[in-house]
Amino acid sequence: MAQMQTVNFRTIIAIALLALTICVVGCFTGGHQNTNEPSYQNRRLSEWLRDFDNYNLPPERHALAADAVRHIGSPAVPFLLERLSEKQLNQTKVEMQKWHDRQERAVFNVDRPAIPEREAMAALDAMGSEAADALPVLEKLLQHDPPDEQALYLAARIGPAGVPMLTKALTNENKGVKLAAQVCLDMIRSRSEVLYPKILVGSNAPSFERRICEFNSKVLQAAVVQYSTNHPDIELPDDLNQTPPPPSVPPR
């Protein structure tokens, strides 16, 4: 009986020590993860990033989020790059597909899930030259199918450090990537307001979403000019909103 009690007592001590070890490791890991995420004004970076992806918020809140990211600076880059990782991008695609499926079956609108990639890009845009460490990851986005041409705009926003990436993209096999890279380089040379807005900070500063739309418009216009140059026999409308005339059929 005494031997059994001794064994049980030792077993209890061993279990207690194991539980204590797990608790200590868990607390250390949790604290380590929390310290890895920078914060500003008592809000974690992830909370500020969600403001970028919330279209129900007024422009002032988006401007505050951009200002917060600028204050955090380069310590935010590793956290942002995690949101552009292959694993995260694949997970986002899965979540978006689930959302589309629920939308089709739902009677009322279903809230769209957050898009970490969009949040990260808006934050890198706000950081400007301080986001230079993100260039290798941004270049990998051009290898996706389809390639993400917004990565080129971000490279241009980063400044001189991003020019080699843009120059290299001029020889990309994808015509859209080549054209977008040329547009970015042209905007750098001309100091385009799409890339260098007059108002840089504050609620009146043009948002990342607005400037990306303007960038996409410039790429579309460049594509029309390129197509028109390569196909002079096809008449394109002066207004792109007009329906183009049907192509003429050559006589037999």
**pLDDT digit string, tens, across residues 195-210:** 999 988 888 889 999 9
* Cα distances (angstroms) measured from residue 164 to each of 34, 121, 160, 170, 224: 35, 19, 8, 10, 26
pLDDT at 58 over 70: yes
Q: Is residue 224 part of a domain?
A: yes
Rounded to 5°, the CA angle 237-239-243 comes to 55
The residue range of the domain holding 70 is: 38-230
Sign of CA dihedral 68, 43, 99, 138: positive
pTM of the model: 0.74
Q: Is residue 101 part of a domain?
A: yes
Q: Is residue 223 part of a domain?
A: yes
| Averaged pLDDT for residues 64-92 | 88
Q: Is residue 205 part of a domain?
A: yes
Q: Is residue 135 part of a domain?
A: yes
Token pair 């989020």: residue: 65
Q: Is residue 23 part of a domain?
A: no
| Averaged pLDDT for residues 37-55 | 90
Q: Is residue 138 part of a domain?
A: yes
**% of the chain exceeding 70 in pLDDT:** 79
Q: Measured between alpha carbons, how far is 228 from 236 in angstroms, rounded to an integer?
A: 7
- Total structural domains within the chain: 1
- Residue 15's pLDDT band, with cuts at 50, 70 and 90, is very low
> Which is nearest to 162 in space by CA: 172, 152, 171?
152
The chain-wide mean pLDDT, for the chain, equals 81
The secondary structure of the chain as a DSSP string is -HHHHHHHHHHHHHHHHHHHHHHHHHHHHHHHHHHHS-EETTEEHHHHHHHHT-TTS-HHHHHHHHHHHHHH-GGGHHHHHHTTSHHHHHHHHHHHHHHHHHHHH-SSPPPPPP-HHHHHHHHHHHHGGGGGGGHHHHHHGGGSSS--THHHHHHHHH-GGGHHHHHHHTT-SSHHHHHHHHHHHHHHHHT-TTTS-S--SSTTSPPHHHHHHHHHHHHHHHHHHHHHHH-TTSPPPSSTTSPPPPPPPPP-
| Averaged pLDDT for residues 67-87 | 90
Q: Is residue 193 part of a domain?
A: yes
Q: Give residue 65's pLDDT.
A: 93
* Cα distances (angstroms) measured from residue 146 to each of 24, 91, 142, 175, 221: 45, 17, 8, 12, 20
